[in-house]
Structure 1
Amino acid sequence: MQTQFLTLSNNNINEFPEDGSSTESRQLHPPLDLAQIAIDSANVGIWVINAVTGEFMPSSRTKELFGFAPDEEMTFDAAMQQVVEKYRQNTIAAIENAYKKQTNLYVEYQVIGLHDHQSRWLSITGGFTNPDLTSSYFSGIVMDITQHKQNELKRSKFIGMVSHELKTPLTALKAYVQMLSNWAKKQKDGFATGALSKVDKQVRKMLNMINSLLNLSSAEVGQIHINKQLFSVDELIAEVVEETLFVTSSHHITITPCENIQVNADREKIEQVLVNLLSNAAKYSEKGTSIGISCKLQGEMVEISVLDQGLGIAQEAIDKVFLPHYRVESKETEKVTGFGIGLYLCSEIISRHDGKIWVESEPGEGSTFKFTLPVN
């Protein structure tokens, strides 16, 4: 996005008495700049981009949040250079996507101030005014959300600690259930075998939820660890489908055979991505419908797709489904349980593998979630 610097001046919104007082009496009551009062009270920065000329216009507070002096020039590119590197690409992509598609913008990121070198968490909210006119502006506000983010990180650490403590007894319980199940099979006790099979399913579900919470806490504090190894994609897909059918037997899952493709990635983390996508496909589609999974080589990347015949996703929600705690709200989805963190975790894992993840969907037409990974 090529932009130029231009000092932003606030619009004066004057308030005068409505009692017919004279000019002299009005001078005793200076006009109020209500816009400036509101901005100062909220302690937010404002920014404007002229959609025609590309001029970037930050307020003094906006410059301050990025560590610039109030009277110092700050271009859009200079501001983005202060964004911490691991958030920079996604931040720029979100802004450019909202700018090009003329949609609403919201993105959170961490910056290091240019001169004060302070670490801050900021949020940008924005959108277009008069999108059909030649004099349209892309504008919004910048807020310091450092305290809010620190509280979130504390919460994530707490969730991670509690989840880790819960996982230990559940792992032991799972082992005992499997031992009892093997014993029941030898005794040919059909009732015990069936009951223990159901217990095992529930324990697996609980372990999956706890693993998701652990991964969420790791992602929010920036500590998702990737342990790469060489493995076959088609073998992993077959294993995940078999496991999914054991826990969720209400859908038909078909695998489109793919060539023997090997990747150097974290096998356990990619397994979590596949489990999440297949679980979502089952939750958001009618029982008895088909779910398809396939993979293919695309140059230096392998592309894996999970297709369902479910509810589909509206266009305005597609860009939000990978945000943390976001869930598509509708009458059809209100009974579907979940934390709204599965797709966010998938996005974080794939991003750390230098891949991409996205969804293609239409309401009522099902969804296809796709992600790519570099081949070995």
Structure 2
Amino acid sequence: MTKNVDGNGRIPKNGADFTEQFPALDLAEVALEGANVGIWIMDSVSGKFFPSQRTKALFGFLPDSDMSFGDAMLKVVEKHRKTATEAIENAFRKQRALYVEFPVAALPDHPQRWLSVTGGFSSPVDRNSYFSGIIMDITEQKQTDLRRSKFIGMVSHELKTPLTALKGYVQLLNNWAKKQKDNFTIGALSKVEKQVKKMLNMINSLLNLSGAEAGKIHLKKETFRLDELIAEVVEETLFITSTHPIAIIPCGSVTIYADKEKLEQVLVNLLSNAAKYSEKASGIEMICAVQDSQVEISIRDQGLGIAAEDIQKLFLPHYRVQSKETEKIAGFGIGLYLCAEIIKRHNGKIWVESEPGKGSTFKFTLPLG
């Protein structure tokens, strides 16, 4: 195991000159600089941080100036700073692969710049290994994503109005058919209602994506019973997706203050994913547990499982696991991103525990009270 300078797993705040410490990388640095990519290296034992000139420039520092890890993190926009710092420090401490995106504060030549940081250890078992990686400017990509999200949000909003009306008419016809005891019409309208609900769920997800990427997810909080919402969502999921048995391990009566509609979307998304990525008839388990001042919800499936390198990026927008098993499964790659954003807005946490071939357990926590 490697040790850090301060002894508690946190990265020291000191920095050093990159080219003096790593002269052999001069040629590689020139090539990467030409591609607008910065390099950074961190000593696995001392924790010293070595940024290249391009890395310094991306954070708004002059080439000859000193830039420590702490200096760089202070440039990250405040609401993203804690998440970015924890992601990097956890990857360093646990010797895991790293991928994180964050915006940096206003710079003279750019109002806001988005950066992506990728890294890993050269050899996890070698004390002389380095924690290193690259940093890229993804501002243009983020702006394109934002424009696309605005367009999707506008179109989705226009689609939602007629679909909501259609849902109302279907329900009226269904009630009429039940009074007439017309079983054929009742069955046909039930199928129509099922498809309308699927489309409305998709549109709500797209609308939430537009809001999330614009930083405008608005919560309408109310006090309600979470255990009752879980039961409703499971019943609704079995109505739409009847191919998987769902078992609930309840936690008794749990009252929370939250946005009921958005938490419903989180539960629906996680349950539908569990069904989508599992063999037909395989079981799904939903567990609710109260722990001190929070409640933890777990959705466990017996599906494909997820590799460690994919878990790092699973909650990023538009990211989907690429494999032979998943290429035929439809999806936008936005569901888990929206789940993460909604849970974060509720001051909760969301994560996944998984191994390929052994299923997945998605978990999230919410504060009580």
TM norm. shorter chain > 0.5: yes
Residue 298 (structure 1) aligned with residue 291 (structure 2): yes
Paired with 2:29 and 2:357, the residues of 1 have a C-alpha distance of 46
Residue 67 (structure 1) aligned with residue 32 (structure 2): no
* 1:86 aligned to which of 75, 79, 85: 79
Paired with 2:23 and 2:355, the residues of 1 have a C-alpha distance of 45
Q: Deviations over 1:48-77 (max 9, x none)?
A: 111121111112222222222322222101
Paired with 2:148 and 2:52, the residues of 1 have a C-alpha distance of 33
Residue 117 of structure 1, CA deviation: 8.2
Report the counterpart of residue 18 of structure 2 in structure 1. 8
Residue 116 of structure 1, CA deviation: 7.2
Residue 13 of structure 1, CA deviation: 6.6
Counterpart contact for 1:67–1:116, Cα < 8 Å? no
Residue 153 (structure 1) aligned with residue 163 (structure 2): no
TM-score normalised according to structure 1 size: 0.89
Paired with 1:195 and 1:368, the residues of 2 have a C-alpha distance of 35
Say which SS state the counterpart of residue 4 (structure 1) adopts.
coil
Amino acid at match of 2:325: E
Amino acid at match of 1:109: F
* 2:352 aligned to which of 355, 359, 364: 359
Q: Deviations over 1:16-67 (max 9, x none)?
A: xxxxxxxxxxxxxxxxx64343133112322111112111111222222222
Say which SS state the counterpart of residue 5 (structure 1) adopts.
coil
Amino acid at match of 1:220: E
Paired with 2:45 and 2:310, the residues of 1 have a C-alpha distance of 28
Residue 242 of structure 1, CA deviation: 1.4
Residue 135 of structure 1, CA deviation: 2.0
Paired with 1:13 and 1:76, the residues of 2 have a C-alpha distance of 23
Counterpart contact for 1:66–1:113, Cα < 8 Å? no
Say which SS state the counterpart of residue 231 (structure 1) adopts.
strand
Change (3 A) 1:134 1:255: closer
Identity value in percent? 66
Residue 275 of structure 1, CA deviation: 0.5
Paired with 1:357 and 1:331, the residues of 2 have a C-alpha distance of 27
Q: Deviations over 1:102-152 (max 9, x none)?
A: 333222110115777842111112222243332211122222222221111
Residue 209 of structure 1, CA deviation: 0.8
Could you tell which deviates more after superposition, 125-134 or 194-203?
125-134
Counterpart contact for 1:68–1:115, Cα < 8 Å? no
* Number of positions where the alignment pairs a residue of Structure 1 with one of Structure 2: 358
Amino acid at match of 2:317: P
Q: Deviations over 1:222-267 (max 9, x none)?
A: 1111121111111111111111111111221222232211111111
Paired with 1:137 and 1:72, the residues of 2 have a C-alpha distance of 23
Residue 99 of structure 1, CA deviation: 1.9
* 1:203 aligned to which of 196, 202, 212: 196
Paired with 2:256 and 2:96, the residues of 1 have a C-alpha distance of 36
Residue 309 of structure 1, CA deviation: 2.1
Could you tell which deviates more after superposition, 55-64 or 174-183?
55-64
Say which SS state the counterpart of residue 363 (structure 2) adopts.
strand
**Alignment of structure 1 residues 135-174 onto 2, 5 Å:** 135-174=128-167
TM-score normalised according to structure 2 size: 0.91
Paired with 2:327 and 2:174, the residues of 1 have a C-alpha distance of 36
Paired with 2:90 and 2:213, the residues of 1 have a C-alpha distance of 24
* 1:311 aligned to which of 290, 304, 308: 304
* 1:39 aligned to which of 32, 43, 48: 32
Counterpart contact for 1:68–1:114, Cα < 8 Å? no
Residue 76 (structure 1) aligned with residue 61 (structure 2): no
Paired with 2:195 and 2:256, the residues of 1 have a C-alpha distance of 32
Paired with 1:203 and 1:251, the residues of 2 have a C-alpha distance of 21
Alignment gaps of 5+ in structure 2 = 1-10
Report the counterpart of residue 101 of structure 2 in structure 1. 108
Alignment gaps of 5+ in structure 1 = 15-32
Could you tell which deviates more after superposition, 57-66 or 77-86?
57-66
Paired with 1:63 and 1:54, the residues of 2 have a C-alpha distance of 18
- Provide the aligned C-alpha RMSD in A: 2.0
Could you tell which deviates more after superposition, 312-321 or 338-347?
312-321
Amino acid at match of 1:35: A
Paired with 1:365 and 1:145, the residues of 2 have a C-alpha distance of 35
Amino acid at match of 2:34: S
Counterpart contact for 2:250–2:289, Cα < 8 Å? no
**Alignment of structure 1 residues 217-256 onto 2, 5 Å:** 217-256=210-249
Say which SS state the counterpart of residue 235 (structure 1) adopts.
helix
Paired with 2:301 and 2:110, the residues of 1 have a C-alpha distance of 48
